[in-house]
Amino acid sequence: MSNQTTAAATALGGTVDNDLSTAGLATTVNCHVAADDLTWAVSSGTKVTPADAWCVDSTGASKAILGGFLAADATVCP
C-alpha cells in the first residue's frame, strides 16, 4: 500500500502521514491503523474538489468525505 499512498500524495503535491493522531488535509494522504493492526482507514484529498476527500477502510467502505477529511484517530470512514 505504500506505493499507492505515495503516488496519491505525489499527484496532490503533498505528503503521506501515517500518524493515527493526525487529521486529514487537502494535500495529505492519511493512513490510520488501530493498535490491533486490523482496523484501518486511508483518506486522500482530491484534486477536483480540494475541500473533499476520498476514504477507504477495513470495513470495505470506499466513499467521498464531502467538505471534510478523515478525523484524527479515525479508523473507519465517516
61 in a domain, yes or no? yes
31 in a domain, yes or no? yes
Q: How many domains does the chain have?
A: 1
φ/ψ of residue 24, rounded to 5: -70, 160
Give me 23's grid cell.
487529521
pLDDT value of residue 52: 93
Domain that residue 33 falls in: 2-65
77 in a domain, yes or no? no
72 in a domain, yes or no? no
Look at residue 72 and tell me whether its pLDDT is greater than 90.
yes
pLDDT value of residue 1: 61
50 in a domain, yes or no? yes
Are 46 and 53 in contact, with CB atoms under 8 Å apart?
yes
How far is 52 from 38, CA to CA, in rounded Å?
26
Supply the pTM of this predicted model.
0.81
pLDDT tens, residue by residue, 13-60: 777 888 888 888 888 889 999 999 999 999 998 888 889 999 999 999
pLDDT value of residue 55: 95
Per-residue confidence at 6, pLDDT binned at 50, 70, 90?
confident
Q: Which helix (H) or strand (E) holds 8?
A: helix 2-12
